[in-house]
Structure 1
Amino acid sequence: MILSWRCLSGENYEMELEREQQLEWIEAQKIEISADLVAAAKQQLKFLQAVDRNRWLYDGPALQRAIYRYSACWLPLLAKHCESEVSEGPLVVPLDCEWIWHCHRLNPVRYKSDCVEFYGRILDNFNVVSSLQGSCKKQTEEIWNTLFLDEPYEFDWKRASSEDISEKFSGIEKQIKYDLISAVKRQSPFFYQVSRPHMNNNIFLEEAVARYKGFLHLIKRNQESSMRRFCVPTYDIDLMWHTHQLHPVAYCKDLKKELGRVLEHDDKDSDRTKGKKLDTGFFVTTKQWEETFGTRYWRAGAMYRGSAPTPVTDFPFFPDSLSKEATTTHQFQNIIQLPEMKLVEVLLEVIGVKNIAEELKGSLFVFFRKTQPDAFFNGNRKVTILSESREKQVVAFQCEPTGKLLFELVSLSPSNLLVTRASKTLGTASLSLSEFLDPVSKLAGEKWLELTPVSGSTSPKPMNLHVAVSFTIPTPAPYVLRMVQYPCTKSTCFFPLPVMVEHAKNWRHVIDETQAEVISLQIRELTEAKKKQNCTSRKQVIGITKCGETHTLAEFTGTFWLLMDSQWCLQHQEKASENGDLLELIGSRMVKVYPGRKLEYEPKPCEKQRNEDDFMTLVEFSAENPYGKALALLDLRSGCIKATEEWLVLPGLIAAFILSDNLKKKGHISFNVNGKNRKEINDIIEKVDAKQDHGTNMTLPVGTKVDYVDLAAGNEMNPENAVKSSGCGGCGAGCGDIVNSGGCGSGCGGGCGGGCGGGCGSMFKSAGCGSGCGSGCGTMVSDNDGACGNAGVNGPKTPLYTEAVGA
C-alpha cells in the first residue's frame, strides 16, 4: 500500500508516513452510513436502561414468554406493516418484544436470512418507534388485540411466570430457529459497559462515529489485501456498530456498498484468556489501527470496565408505591458548604522522542504530574517511552479537568563506578487540559511537545516529546469527607470511629478533599435537669459549622436516634432483612444500608484486602434504579464517607458518627422517616411486595503495563488488574484487563468470528470489545511471547487470519 517512499529515511520518511496516514483517515471518513448514528445511539442507551430496570427480560419464564410474543405476534404484525402500513401513525413495539428484536438484529446475517425465509424481505424499523417514544400506542394496541385475541398487547407478568408456553411454541408456524435465549444472555452485560454519562455526550458520540468508520475501513483494507484478521472494537466503536445494525435495511445496504457483503457480528466467542482469539485479535487491531492512521486505538471511557457488580437484590423495589409524606428538605444541607469539583478519566501514552543528542540518551523515560494541587491526582508518575523501551505502557488515572500536565524527560545512565546509575533531567514540557476541556472541544489528541532544556542539556535541534492523551467529559466528583481529631499528626489524623465514641466529649472535625474543615461533631449528654424530666437517658449529636453556628443534628430518645428534625430515624431492629440490609430510609426516597462494600463500591481483586465489617454502603431504590444505586460508602475504620449525592452527605456523616456505637450492641439498625415505627414501615413494605409479584428471577501487546490511580486516595493499583480488559461489545463474562486484554466481543468479518459473550482479555493485553471483523491475528506488543510485533518489536510467529467480532 505504501511503496513509493520506502527509500526515504529520517525526517522525510516520518513526514511522508504521517501524510499517508492522514490520507487513510480521510478515506475512511468517506464511508457513507444511512442512519443518524448519534441520535440513534442515544435512543439505544435509553432503551437499554429501560430493559435493565426490567431484568425479568434477562432470564426465566418471562424471557421465554417475551420470545413467544416476539415470534408469534410482533414479527407477523411488523411484516404486515412493512407490506402496507397498518396504522396511520407509527407502530409502537412493546418493550419485551423490542428487547428480543434488538438481540435478533445484532446478528445481522442471521436476522436477514430469517426474515427472508419467513417473510420474503428484511423487516425494517422504518415507521416503528420504541415503547419509550410512543406517546400514543392506543392504535397499535387496538390492531394487536384484533389480530392476537389470546395475547394482550400489554405484557401480563403473572401469566408469564405461571403459564407453560411450550405447546404454543410448537404450534407457531413461522418459528425463529435462532437461539434467542442465548443471544439475550450474551447481550445482557452490554449496558453496564456503556452506561456512564460520557457515553451520552455528543462530542464523544461524534468521535465514536468517526472511529467506527475507521474500524470499517480496516476491515475493507484487509479484505482488499486478502488478509484474514480478527478485528476487535472498543466500546465506543461497538456502540455505533450495534446502533447501525438496529437499522437492518440501512446496515445491509451500507455494508454491501463498502464491502460487497453484510458484515457479520457474531457474539459467541467469550474467552478473553491471554493468547486466545479475542486477546490476540485486539493486539492486532490496535497495531493495524496505529500503523494505518497514526493515532492511538485506545480511548478513555471506551475500555472494558470489568464485570457488572453483584446485585444487592434479585427483586426490584418500586418506592413509587410508598408513602409520599416524607420529603427531603435542604434546610440542614445548607449548614455545610461543600466544594463543587469535577473529574475526568485520562489515558496517556508517551510514544516517542526526537533530537536527543547521543551522549545524553542513556535509558530514557518520563515523569509527569499536575502543575497545581489536584484532589484526585498528585505526585510524580513514571512512564516508559514506546520508541525507546519497545514496551507499550498506557497510564490510566483520574484528575480534575484543570491546569496542566508537566512532563519531565529523564535519562538514566550507568555511573563511572558501575554500581549505581545516575539520572539526569534533559528537559520539560507541559500540556494544558483546558485545550481539550474548557470548553469540551475534543476528547483525544496527539502532540509533539517541544522540551525546554534544563541547565547543562544542549542539543543541535529542539528536543521533542510525542504524547497521546484521551479524556472522558468532566463529571461531578464524589464528595469525600473524613473525620479527624485535632491536634493530629499524619499517622493519627484519621481516627477510628470506635475511638471517637469512646472519647465522645472530644470534638471530631470533618474535612473535605482540600483539607478545609466543614463541620465539627460531638455526642453530648443532655443536662441533668432535662434528664429528670425524662425517665430515659438522652444524648444529642451537636454540630458546629465553620461560621460558629451550633445545630442539633440528632437526638437519642432511648430506643432510636432521630436525625435532622426527625426526617430520618436510626433505630434498632432484631434482625436484618431478607436482602441483607441493616438500615432503611422510607418516604419520598428509599435508602437501604448494607454491610460491606456493594455495587459500585464492590472491592476489586487488586485491592488490598480489608475487613468488610469496616464498611457500609447506602443504596437508593427508585423508579430509575429499582435494583439499587450505590449513593455512599461509609468507612467506619478511617471515619471516611464517600458520597455521590450532596443531599446524602450530612445524614451520612451523622449516621457514620453514631453508627459504631450502635453496632456494639446486639441487633441491627433501621432508618425510618418522620417518626414512623417499625410496624408502620413493615406494613408499607408488605403492600409494595404484594404488588411486585411480577419480579423474576486497552488491550495491547503482551508485556503492556497499565497503571491506575485510585479515585479517592490517589494510590497506585496493581497493573495486572487495574484497568482490566478493554473494549466493548456484549462482552459477557470474565474479561481480563482493560489494557491487558480486550474489548468486547462479537464477531464479524471474513470467517466471521467470535464475539464477546463472556470475557475478553485486558484492555491492552488482549482485545477490545471482543467483536471481530475484518482481519487479523497475533499479539501486539513487546514481550517475548511472540505476536505480530509493534514498531519493530517481536514479529509474527503465527499465520495471519481474518475475522471480526463485536458484542
Structure 2
Amino acid sequence: MPRGIVNQELVGIQRSLARTKPEYVDMTRRNMYLVRAVDVSYESLYEGPALRRAIWRYEALWLPLLLAVLLPASTTPSDPALAAKVGHIRAKNAAGDGLTSSSLVPPLDIAWVWLLHRLHPGAYAADTAGLTSANEVLHTDADTAFRFSDGEDAQSKPLRRLWDVLYPFEPYLPAYILNTPYAVDEKKKKEAVDTYAHAVGESGRATERSIVSFDVEASAILQKRFVFQTVDPRAGLEWDAIEEDEFLLRAFDRYMMFTLLRKRQPDTYLVPMMDINLVWHAHMASTRDYHADCIALVGGVVGHDALDAEARRQDLIQQERAVLEADGDLYSDGEETALALKLNFRGLPIAETRSLWEEAYGLSPAYDIPGTRYRGEPVGPRGGFRTVWEAEFGSRSARNGHEMLAVMVLSASLVAAGVVAAAFGLIATVARHGAWFLAVPGGLGLAAGGVAMFVALPSARPLSSTSRFWVDRRYKHMHNPLPSYLVRTKAFHLD
C-alpha cells in the first residue's frame, strides 16, 4: 500500500485517541515505574506467599472499596455478603473524608495485582462488571491507573485514614513489602483473614471465593520476564534510554502502526516487539481510555492474553527440544549443549509479523530494531531492576518508619550542630582573629551532610509513585540525549 495512504490512516487513528501522544508516553513511563518498584520489594511479589496474600488483599479488601467509591450509591453488588461489605464501607466513608476516585492510592502490592488484572482487558471487564447487577466495569484512567504508595507519603494519607477504620487488623502496607521476611508475618495473615471473615459474616468463604477469572500467579511470573526485557543489570541506572521521551515517542508511533496492522490482520497472531508492548501495557492499564480507543480504532476491545502467548512459546520450545533429543544433539557427556541452553532464551517467532509489517510499511522503519528484541529469561528470582538498584544503593531497598525517623532526627541534629559550629567559628574569629575560622567551613560541611542525608532519604525507598527517586529520574530523562544507535535507527514519526 502506498506510504501516503498509510500516513493518512495513522494520522487519522491518532486523532481518534482519547489522549495526546505525550500523555500516552507519560503513562508508559509511569507504568514502568510501578513494575520496577514491585521488582525491588523485600519479599517477591512474583510468586510465593506474598503474592498470594496480595491477591487476597486485592479481592477481599480493595475491590469492595472500589465498588463503594467508584459506583453510585444506587448500585449494589448482586452477592448479599459483598453488598453488606460495600454498604459498610460507604457508611464509614461518608462519616469520614468522603473519598473519591482521585483519593484511591493503593499500596504497592495491591496496585501490582490490580495491574495484572487490567492487563487482561476482557477478564477485567467481565470480572468487575459481574460483581453488580448493573454490569458496570470498574474503570481507571491515566490519572489514577499508575499510582502506588508505601504508606508514608501525602498522596495516600486520606485513604490510610479510611483503611485504618475499615481494616484495623490489616496494615495498609505489610512489613514484608519493605524489610521483613514473610515468615514473620505468616501467623498474622491467617488471623487477619479469619477476623475479617467473621466481621463481615463470611466465615469459611472469604478465602474461597475468587473474583479474578484467570491465573494471577502465572501472570505475575510472566511480568517478571517482561521487567527483564526493560533493564540491563550490567549497565546499571545509566542504561535508561528506554525511559527517554524520544524512545517512548517512537514506541508510541510503532504501537499505532501495530494497531493498524492488527486492524488489517484480525485473524493473524501478531507478536509485538518490546517497545510496542511497553505502550500496549500502559494503554491497557488505563481501562477507560483503552476501551474508548479500541472501539474508535478497531471497533472492539483488543485482547491481550499473555498466558496464551507463553503457552505458545513453551510449545515451540518443547517441539524444538523433541527434535534435538531425536537427533541426539540435546545432551553431550551428560550436560546440555549450548544449543539446548538457548531453548529457554527464545521468544515467540516474529517472522510472520515482520513480513506483514514490511508489506505494509516497507523496510524502513524496521520491525525488530535494536533495543526492542527479546533478551532472554531473568537470571534470578527478580526481573533485573532490583540488581540494578542494589548495585547503586546497596542491598537494603527500604527502611521502616522508625529507621526513617531516626535518620531524620540524625540529619536535623547534624544540620543544627553544623550551623552552631559555623556561627561560633565566625564569631570567635571576628572577636579574637584566631584559628577559629576553620570551624566555619567545618560547620557548613557538617550542615551540608545533614541536608544531603535528609534529601537522599526518599531515594532509598522507591516504593511510591511520588518518591523523589522516580521524580528525579523523570526529570533526568527529559534532559538526557539518546545513545547514537537509537538516533541512527529513528523510526517513522507521524506528522
1:442-457 → structure 2 map (5 Å cutoff): none
Secondary structure at 2:242 match in 1 = helix
Task: Give the length in aligned residue pairs.
Answer: 313
1:130 match: 148
Instruction: Give the deviation of 1:156 after TM superposition.
Output: 4.3
**CA 1:299/1:29 → structure 2, altered by over 3 Å: closer, same or farther?**
farther
Of residues 187, 196, 211, the one that matches 1:175 is: 211
Quick one: distance in 2 between partners of 1:71 and 1:239?
26
Q: Which residue of 2 aligns with 1:249?
A: 288
Cα shift readout 1:228-285 (whole Å, capped 9, x = no counterpart): 2101101110000000011112111211222222111001132544798997752111
**Separation in 2 of the partners of 1:103 and 1:319?**
23
Deviations for 1:541-587, whole angstroms, at most 9, x for unmatched residues?
xxxxxxxxxxxxxxxxxxxxxxxxxxxxxxxxxxxxxxxxxxxxxxx
Secondary structure of residue in 1 paired with 2:296: helix
Pair 288,160 (structure 1): closer, same or farther in 2 beyond 3 Å: farther
What is the aligned partner in structure 2 of residue 292 from structure 1? 360
Correspondence 1:143 to 2:143: no
Pick one of 299, 303, 320 that aligns with 1:264: 303
Shift of 1:164: 6.0
Structure-1 residue corresponding to 2:272: 233
Unmatched runs of 5 consecutive residues or more in structure 1: 3-16, 326-587, 590-621, 627-807
CA displacement 1:58-102 (0-9 Å, x = unmatched): 222111111111101111111212125941652211111000001
Give the Cα separation in 2 of the matches to 1:97 and 1:162: 20
Name the SS of the counterpart of 1:230 in structure 2: coil
What residue number does 2:325 align with? none
C-alpha change, 1:138 and 1:161, in structure 2 (3 Å) is same
Please say if residues 25 and 293 of structure 1, whose CA atoms lie closer than 8 Å, have aligned partners that are also in contact: no
Alignment of 1:257-656 (within 5 A): 257-268=296-307, 269-270=309-310, 271-272=312-313, 273=316, 282-294=350-362, 295=364, 296-310=366-380, 317-318=395-396, 623=460
Give, in whole Å, the separation in 2 of the partners of 1:60 and 1:188.
Answer: 13
Question: Partner letter of residue 204 of structure 1?
Answer: F
Residue 42 of structure 1 and its aligned partner are, at CA, apart by 1.3
Partner of 1:629: none
Distance (Å, rounded) in 1 between the aligned partners of 2:375 and 2:348: 19
Please give the root-mean-square deviation of Cα atoms over the aligned residues, in Å. Answer: 3.7
Q: Write the distance in 2 (CA, Å) between the matches of 1:175 and 1:19.
A: 47
* Corresponding position: 1:71 with 2:59: yes
Q: Distance in 2 between matches of 1:39 and 1:151?
A: 33
Taking structure 1 as reference, are residues 100 and 160 closer, same or farther at Cα in structure 2, changes over 3 Å only? farther
Aligned letter for 1:318? Answer: R
CA contact (8 A) 1:122 1:249 kept: no
Q: Which amino acid is 1:210 matched to?
A: D
TM-score (norm 1): 0.35
CA drift of 1:24 comes to 5.1
| 2:155 alignment partner, SS class | coil
Match of 1:184? 220
Q: 1:699-710, aligned counterparts within 5 Å?
A: none
**Which protein has the larger Cα radius of gyration, Structure 1 or Structure 2?**
1
- Contact 2:271/2:348, CA 8 A, preserved across alignment: no
Q: 1:92·1:130 contact (CA, 8 Å) conserved in 2? A: yes
Instruction: Kindly state the Cα deviation for residue 141 of structure 1 after the two structures are TM-superposed.
Output: 0.9
Equivalent residue letter for 2:169: D
Q: Residues 83, 320 of structure 1: CA spacing in aligned structure 2 closer, same or farther, 3 A cutoff?
A: closer
Give yes or no for the alignment of 1:61 onto 2:49: yes
The DSSP-based 3-state class of the residue aligned with 1:231 is coil
Amino acid at match of 1:155: P
Write the distance in 2 (CA, Å) between the matches of 1:31 and 1:90. 29
Which amino acid letter does the alignment assign opposite residue 308 of structure 1? P
Gaps of 5+ in 2: 73-92, 177-181, 198-203, 232-238, 321-345, 411-451, 454-458, 464-495
Residue number in structure 2 paired with 1:161: 186
Quote the offset at 1:191 in angstroms.
1.3
Q: Deviations over 1:326-383 (max 9, x none)?
A: xxxxxxxxxxxxxxxxxxxxxxxxxxxxxxxxxxxxxxxxxxxxxxxxxxxxxxxxxx
Match of 1:32 in 2: 17
CA drift at 1:306: 1.8
**Cα offset, 1:202, TM superposition:** 0.3
Cα pair distance change 1:164/1:135, threshold 3 Å? closer
Note the C-alpha offset of 1:150. Answer: 2.8
Instruction: For 2:30, give the aligned amino acid.
Output: Q
Counterpart Cα distance in 2 of 1:252 and 1:191: 25
Cα 1:19–1:154 change in 2 (3 A) is closer
Distance 2:55 2:136 in 1: 21
Higher mean C-alpha displacement, 230-239 vs 250-259: 250-259
Please give the TM-score of this superposition, normalised by the length of structure 2: 0.55
Instruction: Select which of 20, 30, 33 maps to 1:46.
Output: 33
Q: Distance in 1 between matches of 2:247 and 2:302?
A: 24
- Give, in whole Å, the separation in 1 of the partners of 2:348 and 2:380: 29
Q: More strand by proportion, 1 or 2?
A: 1
* Equivalent AA in structure 2 for residue 193 of structure 1: Q
Structure with the bigger RCO (C-alpha within 8 Å, sep 6+) is: 2
Residue 136 of structure 2 corresponds to which residue in structure 1? 121
Query: For the structure 1 residues 102 and 18, does the alpha-carbon distance in structure 2 shift closer, same or farther, using more than 3 Å as the test?
Result: closer
Residue type at the aligned position of 1:56: S
Matched, 1:81 2:100: no
Structure-2 residue corresponding to 1:104:
117
Q: In 2 relative to 1, CA 177–220 (structure 1 residues): closer, same or farther, beyond 3 Å?
A: closer
| Distance (whole Å) between structure 1 residues aligned to residue 397 and residue 265 of structure 2 | 53
Partner-residue secondary structure (3-state), 2:376: coil
Give the 3-state SS of the residue equivalent to 1:58 in structure 2: coil
Select the structure that is richer in helix: 2
SS at match of 2:105: strand
User: Cα deviation per residue 1:279-338 (whole Å; 9 max; x = unaligned)?
Assistant: 77521111111110123111221111222233699999328879999xxxxxxxxxxxxx
